[in-house]
Structure 1
Amino acid sequence: MSGALLATAAEPAFARHETFHLRFGWLRKGFTAALTDPEAFSRPNATVELGVGKNMVSAIRYWCQAYKILETAPNLDRPRMPHLRPSVFGRQLLGEAGWDPWLEDPASLWLLHWKILGPKCIAPVWWTAFNLFAPEQFEEYQLTDLVAELTAAAGWKSVMESSIKKDVDCLLRTFAVRRSGRQTMDDLLDCPTRQLGLIAPAVGETKSWRFVTGPKPSLPPAIVAYACLDFLVEVGARERTISVARLAGDPGSPGRAFRLTESNLYDTLVEATKSVPDLRVAEPAGLRQLIVDDDIEALRDRIVNDYYRANEELQVV
């Protein structure tokens, strides 16, 4: 069953980052390049134009696609080499008049984290870690073994264990600084998503890691509300009501992605509803529920637009 869930949510894409985790500026760099030239990443002078080495060109392309900043488009001249263009989300976030073109608001990193796990996910190790992996504290081999098991169950052929290991290693470097080996200042400061505080070294253990479950101070209630409504859209909910338990615990849910307990999620949604009249939380017969009084997709988009607009107005003041 878990293999089927993975196959539905993700694609068999492994080690496409060329061992490079996301770096500051890469999403903006990739977005800008594709905005002016849909073949920017495949041109012979891509390394010169992007100012990085050949393998980093591939890594930037991968991360921009994984975080849904760029998407493929047909290339009529060379059908086997599709174009890369900014997605609707990419333009909304990083466009000239976008929400946060320079990714200065921590909320944008949370939004990107939600997007990398969204369909169709091309980071299956990420999706597995946050949605199907049970241990709160773990060693790398445990996650590697689970992914290998699930890829076989999903019917994905020829997935090499070495590629899975590279992804597990990259996942950990994306969210935390490794404790072994020589660390440079760049290692400590170069990855924006470490600010999210989702994974940390286990205290007193040299080879163990732990997911950090609980309230996230930098995670705005509006982004959580946006993710909850996005989840409703993705699961094809016919009703405008969903239990907070599902939002906290179902595979692909905001609670899983943001590592929030049901109580954390409920409290955050209560806060979010204070500024969103068409969104309510209720407890009929003790069952905590989120209730939507408007079109789900329209309200989802309005919430995130209103958040960034209000934040921009505060900065101006």
Structure 2
Amino acid sequence: MSGALLGAAAEPAFARHETFHLRFGWLRKGFTAALSDPEAFSRPNATVELGVGKNMVNAIRYWCQAYKILETTPNEERPRMPHLTPSAFGRQLLDEDGWDPWLEDPASLWLLHWKLLGPKCMAPVWWTAFNLFVPEQFEEYQLTDLVVELTAAAGWKSVMESSVKKDVDCLLRTFGVRRTGRQTMDDLLDCPTRQLGLIAPAAGEARSWRFVTGPKPSLPSAIVAYACLDFMAGVGGKERTISVARLAGDPGAPGRAFRLTESNLYDILIEAAKSVPQMRVAEPAGLRQFIVNGDVEALRDQIINEYYRARQEQAA
């Protein structure tokens, strides 16, 4: 069952980051390059134009696609080499007049994290860690073993354990730095998503880690509400009511992505609903429910647009 869930939610993409975790400025750099030239990443002078080495060019391309900033589009002249162009989401976020062109608002990192895990996810180790991995505290090998097991169950062929290990290592460096042991230069270079505080070193062995479950100070209620509506739109069809338990615990749900308990999520949605009359939280017979009055997708888009509009007005 878990293998089928992984196969439906993610692509068999492993170690495409060339061992480089996401770095500050990379998404903006990749977006700008693709905006001006849909073949920017495949040209011989890509290293010069992007100002990085060949492997980093590949890493920037991967992260931009994984975070849904860029997408492939048909290349009529060379069908075997599709263009890489900004997605609608990428333009909304990073255009000069977009929501947050320089990713200055921590909320944008939470939004990107949600997009990374969304379908089709190009980071199956990330998707597995947040949606199918049970332990709150774990050793690196445990996550590696589970991913290897699930890739086989999903019917993915030729997935090498060494590639999975690279992804597990990159995942952990994306969110934290090891407490002890020798650190590489790549460990010391900061990653923007570390400030999300989702995974941290655990007491004990150097390769022990823990998920940080509970309220997140930098996570706005509007982003959580957006993610809940996005999840509803993806799994609920035309349904306008969903249990908070599902939003907290289902694979692919916001509670999993943001490491929030059902109670955390319930409190956040109550707060979000205060400024959005089209949604409310109820508790009939002890069952916590999230209820939407109106079109779920339209409300989702309204909430995210209003959040960034308000932020821009505050900054003006």
Structure-1-length-normalised TM-score: 0.98
Whether contact under 8 Å (2:178, 2:206) holds in the other structure is no
Write out aligned runs for 1:177-256 (5 A). Answer: 177-179=177-179, 180-182=181-183, 187-188=187-188, 190-256=190-256
The alignment partner of 1:18 has SS state of coil
Whether contact under 8 Å (2:175, 2:198) holds in the other structure is yes
List, as ranges, runs of 4+ consecutive aligned residues in structure 1 with deviation greater than 4 Å.
Answer: none
The alignment partner of 1:77 has SS state of coil
Distance 1:269 1:237 in 2: 21
Distance 1:189 1:281 in 2: 42
Identical-residue share of aligned pairs (%): 84
Partner of 1:268: 268
User: Structure 1: 5+ residue runs without aligned partners?
Assistant: none
Distance 2:9 2:184 in 1: 35
Greater CA drift, 76-85 or 252-261: 76-85
Partner of 1:61: 61
Distance 1:143 1:312 in 2: 40
Amino acid at match of 1:289: Q
The alignment partner of 1:290 has SS state of strand
Shift of 1:207: 2.2
Amino acid at match of 2:80: R
Whether contact under 8 Å (2:140, 2:168) holds in the other structure is yes
The alignment partner of 2:210 has SS state of strand
Going from structure 1 to structure 2, the CA distance change for 1:77 and 1:298 (only over 3 Å counts) comes to: same
Amino acid at match of 1:182: Q
Write out aligned runs for 1:126-145 (5 A). Answer: 126-145=126-145
The alignment partner of 1:110 has SS state of helix
The alignment partner of 2:237 has SS state of coil
Write out aligned runs for 1:31-110 (5 A). Answer: 31-110=31-110
Shift of 1:312: 1.2
Partner of 2:167: 167
User: Structure 2: 5+ residue runs without aligned partners?
Assistant: none
Whether contact under 8 Å (2:66, 2:122) holds in the other structure is yes
Shift of 1:236: 3.5
Distance 1:183 1:39 in 2: 32
Going from structure 1 to structure 2, the CA distance change for 1:25 and 1:301 (only over 3 Å counts) comes to: same
Shift of 1:314: 1.4
Distance 1:181 1:104 in 2: 31
Distance 1:142 1:33 in 2: 38
Partner of 2:12: 12
Partner of 2:309: 309
Whether contact under 8 Å (2:69, 2:90) holds in the other structure is yes
Structure-2-length-normalised TM-score: 0.98
Partner of 1:116: 116
Whether contact under 8 Å (2:280, 2:290) holds in the other structure is yes
Shift of 1:188: 4.2
Partner of 1:147: 147
